Amino acid sequence: MALLAPNVGEVQLLSVALNKAAVENQKLKLYTNDKSPAEGDVAGDYTEAAGSGYAEKAIAGANWTVANAGGVTTAEYAEQEFTFSGALGNVYGYFIVGATSGILLWAERFAGAPFDVKGATTPIKITPKITLE
């Protein structure tokens, strides 16, 4: 499934871009409820993974790479790897929230979800990326 910025995320992203809201870093999180992102979503609609060595990832705004090629602008962050110490169960996708505000900025369900995390041999790798034309 494609990345989706829900209504609250669109408002926050534009508010930051237009200097109406404070700039903040982000947090990358995995979710474990069987959910497809939707326009009306808020952060509380996603059940964050818990246990088995899971930890959210801090995303520092200064570390995004932003480039334009052929009229397409892309912001990309370095690949983030989630590792686990034990069985976590099904993971359906990821979501990104403002580190300070907690506002849901965007979410994406994994193609082929769910992924059954069985332990240390089942890492999940995500390269956060946004593309605009």
Domain boundaries, the chain: 7-132
User: pLDDT of 54-70, one tens digit each?
Assistant: 999 999 999 999 999 99
Q: Which residues of the chain have pLDDT under 50?
A: none
In whole angstroms, what is the distance from residue 130 CA to residue 98 CA? 15
pLDDT at 16: 94
Q: 122 near 90, Cβ under 8 Å? A: no
pLDDT at 121: 86
pLDDT at 133: 83
Nearest to 24 by CA among 65, 64, 61: 61
In whole angstroms, what is the distance from residue 15 CA to residue 37 CA? 21
Q: Taking the model in full, what pTM does it have? A: 0.95
Burial class for 128, CB neighbours closer than 10 Å (0-12, 13-18, 19+): buried
pLDDT at 7: 96
